Structure formats: C-alpha cells, structure tokens
Structure 1
Amino acid sequence: MSDPQARPDPAFALLDVYDAALPQVYGYLLARCGSRAQAEELTSETFLAAVQSARSGGPVSPAWLIGIARHKLVDHWRRREREERGLRLAHTEPDVEDPWDEHIDAIQARDTLAGLSQTHQCVLTLRYVDGLPVPEVAELIGRTVHATEALLVRARAAFRRAYPGGRHE
C-alpha cells in the first residue's frame, strides 16, 4: 500500500496575488461605493469568489479580481435597489436629451451620486466612472441596450436635478 499524500490546496496560489491585489480591489470598491464598511464587505466577497475559482483551477489575477469586484458591486446595487423598490412607489422621470459634458466638482458629484437610487448609481458609475460602453453596462445589469440608454437618460436627469447648482428641469 502506498502512503496517501496530502495535496496542497490550489487556493494557496491566490496568496501570491493577494498582497498586490488587495489594495487595488479595495480601492476600486471604496471609490465607487463611498462606504468603508461596504467596500470591505465587497472586497471579502471578491476574495471568497477568488478562492472558489482557484480551487476549481480558474484564473486568478489582479485584473480578474477587479472584474469580479465590479460584478459584486453591481450585485450589491441590485440588492439595494430591490430593497428600496419595496419601500417606494415607482417614479418615472421625464426623458431629457442632453450630453453628459458638464464639468463638475468630484466631491459634490460623489455626494450627489450617493443620494440617487441604487440603479442610477450603478449605471452612472459603470458608464462614466468605469468608462464602460453602453452595451457592456447593459450586459452587466441584465437589460437591453435600449433600456439601458433610457435608464442612463433618466439617471443623468436625476443627477442634474440633485447636483448643487445644476439645472433643474
């Protein structure tokens, strides 16, 4: 009989990436959600997903982890939106056709963004902070491109109304 040998957990490969990726993942999430506690929670969810991927032989790199963090953030916004939707009536905003080209103060913009609905925060962050094209935003949030474009119009209008010194239409 041969001696059974313990095989190392493949997730240990993640340790090589962890030290370099942790500040990147946490910084990415903190800049987008604005809450340290929430960024910490989402960072831990991201690394738990990384452990699962490493154990199944999947790739784990800092870039891959940022992608997972983005998905975790979108999932967080979806959960929050569902919770808020249960607390308020649906409210539709008029369509406003206006390019998103105003110069704004970053601190006021972050505060204004934090006051919007989770759905509006999600699409504006993915589109204008992360710079994703509309089709990729649509895929991430599970909507059609046309529905996402309409959502972006409403989100921009809501942002303008809420932004101090912005146009109130």
Structure 2
Amino acid sequence: MYDAALPEVYGYLLARCGQRSLAEELTAETFLAAVEALRRRPPPGGLSTAWLVGVARHKLIDHWRRAEREERGLRLAGGLRSGDVEDPWDVRLDALLAREVLMDLAGHHRAALTLRYLDGLSVPEVAKVMGRTVHATEALLVRARRAFRAGYEESFGGKGDRDG
C-alpha cells in the first residue's frame, strides 16, 4: 500500500504547499498516522489511498494552523471593516504568482482557499474540516479572497506589467 499511495499523498501535499521539504515532512507524518491506526484494535475500515490523502489534508491544515499561531505571535493582524463585501473579480491568474501569493497568506486563509478552490470542497465541507460553522467559514472565505486579491494585485502591480 505504501508504494501505491506514496506518489498520491506526496503529490497532493506538494501541489498545495509548494515546498518539497514540507511536503516530505507531512507525507512522513501521514504514513506514521497510518501505522498508528493499523496498530489500534481493530484497525480502521477503509484504509486506502483516499483515506491517506484525507489524513494528509488534515496534516497540512494542522501545519497551517501552527504556522498561523506562530505568525500571530510575531505580528499584529489587521482586520477588515464589517461593511466590507466581496465584489466580482474575474481575472486570469498567473499560476506561479498565485501560488506565491497563497503561500504569503495567513494560515487560516490559505487553508480555506486551498480546501475550497484547489480541493473543490463545498463551503459546508470546508467548515467541517476546519472545525467552524458554515457562516464563519463563509465570512472567512470572503476575507481570504480579499486578502488573496490584495496580495495578487500588489505583486502584479509591482512587476509593472499590468497592461501587457
């Protein structure tokens, strides 16, 4: 099972975090969790590659939460005004710049956007994975999209290449 699942788990993590060393570390944690699960009596049903990818998703979210707590301790976070609302934004994103901007976001924003748009989970599914209410998750996604857009526009504008 390890040989079959390793490329799937590692690929899943690498595509979402963009850092080989972190993907390797989280892949190892994922398989350690699988070994622990197998040692339990009785072992969990449905032990499969899909189950391992689910464990990997949780490991990545846990990593982002830890990173966010560390970042929060180092900086003072600014918030949006309560009247801020999302507006339509239909722009083709450069994939490398988008990944760079995503990695610069706060951990909870990065996690929410990744689960919603890269993993394709519905808002209720994102809420369940992140341990939040649906309403809180919707608000988080609005703030995360705004933060992503601001970071992207700042990076894109900084290249002096906006109009061609």
TM range (shorter): 0.7 to 0.9
Deviations 1:23-47 (A, max 9, x none): 1100100110111111011000100
**Offset of residue 115 of structure 1:** 1.3
% identity of equivalent residues: 68
Give the greater-gyration-radius structure (CA).
1
**What letter corresponds to residue 27 of structure 1 in structure 2?**
G
Compared with structure 1, are the counterparts of its residues 68 and 101 closer, same or farther at alpha carbon in structure 2 (3 Å cutoff)?
A: farther
Normalised by the size of structure 1, how large is the TM-score?
0.83
1:149 corresponds in structure 2 to 138
- Does residue 92 (structure 1) correspond to residue 92 (structure 2)? The answer is no
The total of aligned residue pairs comes to 151
Give the Cα–Cα distance (whole angstroms) in 2 for the partners of residues 77 and 97 of structure 1.
24
Structure 2, gaps ≥5 residues long: 158-164
Query: TM-score, length-normalised on structure 2?
Result: 0.86
Amino acid at match of 2:148: F
User: Structure 2: which amino acid aligns with 1:30?
Assistant: L
1:55 partnered with 2:39? yes
2:160 alignment partner in structure 1? none
CA distance in 2, matches of 1:99, 1:142: 28
Contact 1:100 1:156 (8 Å CA) reproduced: no
Q: Which 4+ residue blocks in structure 1 deviate beyond 2 angstroms?
A: 93-96, 98-103
Q: Mark the CA change 1:63 to 1:101 in structure 2 (over 3 Å): closer, same or farther.
A: farther
Change (3 A) 1:78 1:39: same
Which of 37, 40, 52 is the aligned partner of 2:24?
40
Out of 94-103 and 46-55, give the one that drifted further: 94-103
Q: Quote the Cα distance in structure 2 between the aligned partners of 1:78 and 1:119.
A: 6
What is the one-letter code of the residue matched to 1:162? G
Cα gap change, 1:67/1:97 in structure 2, threshold over 3 Å: closer, same or farther? Answer: same
CA distances 1:72-103 after superposition (whole Å, capped 9, x unpaired)? 01111111111111111231024232246432
Amino acid in the other structure paired with 2:93: I
Closer, same or farther: CA 144–86 of 1 in aligned 2, 3 Å: same
Write the mapping of 1:19-168 to structure 2, written as runs, cut at 5 A: 19-56=3-40, 57-58=43-44, 59-94=46-81, 95-99=84-88, 101-163=90-152, 164-165=156-157
Gaps spanning 5+ residues in structure 1: where? 1-16
Query: Alpha carbons of 1:129 and 1:101: their partners in 2 closer, same or farther (altered >3 Å)?
Result: farther
* Helix, strand or coil at the partner of 1:86: helix
